[in-house]
C-alpha cells in the first residue's frame, strides 16, 4: 500500500504547487476630502448627463437665434438624358443662292446642368422667433441650474460619505482599544484570582462585559430587514464600571460599528 500511496501524495503536492497564487490585496488608497470630491466630480455619470443636457440647450439656443439671420440656399444638379436624333425641318429663305435652310426644332442635348441660388430674410414672424429664443434661453438656464445643483449634491454626498468613513474607522479604533483594555483587565482579574486577591464573580463580570460588544455585533449581523435589535441592560453612560475600574464602553458606538459591519 505504501508504494501506491507515495505517487498519489507526490501528485497532490505537485498539483498544489502549480496552483496560481492568490490575488494580491489592493493597495490602500489614502485621499483627502478635496481629493475624494475631485475624483467624484470626474467619475460621476450623473454629471456627464447633466453636462450633455447643457450642451443640447446651448445648441437649441443657437438654432433659435439663427432663425433671425438671412438664409442662403444654393442648389445644383446634373441629368444625363438618352441620345435621340435631332428633330429638324427645312425652311425657305427667299434667297436664290440658298433657297432653304435646316432649322433644328429639338436638339439632342444629353447633358443637362441646373444651378439655383436663393436668399430669404425673415421680415415678420409674428413673435414666433422671439418666443423660441426666450424658450431656448430658459431651457439653457434650467439645464445650468440642474448641473450646479447636481454638482452641489454630489459634493455633499461625497463629503458625507468621507466623514462617515472617517467616523467609522475612528469608532473601530475605539472599539479595538476598548477590547484591548478589557483583555488586559480580564487578564489582571484572572491573575488576582489566582493569588487569592479577587473573587471568581469579579472575573466573570469582566468576561461578561467584554462579550457585550461581540453580542451586539452578532445580534445586528443576524438581524433581517424589518427586525428590531434592542440593546438593553446598561445605562446611558459612555463607560462600563467593573468594581473600581471604569472602562470606555458606549452601547451606541458599539451599535453603530455593528451596523457598519453588517452593511
pLDDT of residue 1: 43
Q: Which residues of the chain have pLDDT under 70?
A: 1-26, 198-210, 233-235, 239-249, 260-263
Integer Cα distance of 258 and 168 in angstroms: 10
pLDDT confidence of residue 262? 44
> How many residues are recorded in the chain?
263
* 88 domain residue, yes or no: no
> In DSSP terms, which residues pair with 73 in a beta bridge?
118
Give the model's pLDDT for residue 83: 77
| pLDDT at residue 200, as a whole number | 67
Residue 61: domain span: 33-70+129-262
pLDDT tens string 213-252: 777 777 887 888 888 888 876 667 776 665 666 666 677 7
Taking alpha carbons only, the member of 174, 243, 169, 251 closest to residue 215 is 251
Q: Where are the beta strands (DSSP E) in the chain?
A: 71-80, 87-92, 100-106, 111-120, 239-242, 245-248
Distance CA 234, CA 23 (A): 44
Start-to-end Cα distance in the chain? 53
Burial environment of residue 111 by CB neighbours within 10 A (0 to 12, 13 to 18, 19 or more):
exposed
**pLDDT at site 15:** 54
Q: Cell match 439663427: residue? A: 66
User: Residue 3: inside a domain, yes or no?
Assistant: no
Put simply, whether the predicted model's pTM sits higher than 0.75 gets the answer no
Domain count, the chain: 1
The answer to whether residue 149 is domain-embedded is yes
- Cell of residue 156, nine digits: 455633499
> Please, what's the b/e burial string for 239-251 (b: 16 or more CB within 10 A of its CB; e: otherwise)?
ebebeeeebebbb
Which pLDDT value is given to residue 209? Answer: 64
Q: Which stretches of 84-237 are DSSP H helices? A: 128-194, 200-222
- Whether residue 78 is contained in a domain is answered as no
Domain assignment of residue 16, yes or no: no
Question: What pLDDT does residue 244 have?
Answer: 63
User: Grid coordinates standing for 167?
Assistant: 467616523
- Domain annotation covers residue 80: no
Q: Is residue 150, in this structure, part of any structural domain at all?
A: yes
Amino acid at each position: 500500500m505504501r508504494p501506491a500511496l507515495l505517487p498519489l501524495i507526490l501528485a497532490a503536492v505537485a498539483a498544489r504547487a502549480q496552483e496560481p497564487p492568490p490575488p494580491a490585496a489592493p493597495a490602500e488608497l489614502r485621499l483627502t476630502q478635496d481629493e475624494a470630491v475631485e475624483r467624484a466630480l470626474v467619475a460621476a455619470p450623473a454629471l456627464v448627463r447633466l453636462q450633455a443636457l447643457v450642451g443640447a440647450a446651448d445648441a437649441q439656443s443657437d438654432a433659435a437665434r439663427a432663425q433671425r439671420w438671412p438664409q442662403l440656399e444654393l442648389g445644383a444638379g446634373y441629368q444625363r438624358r438618352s441620345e435621340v436624333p435631332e428633330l429638324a425641318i427645312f425652311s425657305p429663305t427667299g434667297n436664290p443662292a440658298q433657297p432653304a435652310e435646316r432649322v433644328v426644332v429639338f436638339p439632342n442635348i444629353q447633358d443637362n446642368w441646373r444651378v439655383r441660388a436663393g436668399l430669404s430674410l425673415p421680415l415678420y414672424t409674428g413673435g414666433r422667433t422671439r418666443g423660441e429664443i426666450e424658450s431656448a434661453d430658459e431651457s439653457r438656464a434650467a439645464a445650468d441650474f440642474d448641473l450646479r445643483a447636481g454638482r452641489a449634491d454630489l459634493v455633499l454626498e461625497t463629503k458625507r460619505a468621507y466623514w462617515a468613513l472617517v467616523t467609522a474607522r475612528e469608532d473601530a479604533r475605539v472599539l479595538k482599544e476598548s477590547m484591548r483594555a478589557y483583555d488586559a483587565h480580564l487578564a489582571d482579574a484572572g491573575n488576582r484570582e489566582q493569588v487569592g486577591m479577587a473573587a471568581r464573580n469579579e472575573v466573570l463580570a469582566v468576561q461578561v462585559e467584554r462579550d457585550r460588544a461581540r453580542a451586539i455585533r452578532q445580534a445586528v449581523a443576524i438581524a433581517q430587514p424589518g427586525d428590531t435589535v434592542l440593546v438593553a441592560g446598561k445605562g446611558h453612560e459612555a463607560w462600563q464600571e467593573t468594581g473600581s475600574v471604569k472602562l470606555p464602553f458606549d452601547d451606541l458606538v458599539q451599535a453603530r460599528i455593528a451596523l457598519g459591519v453588517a452593511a
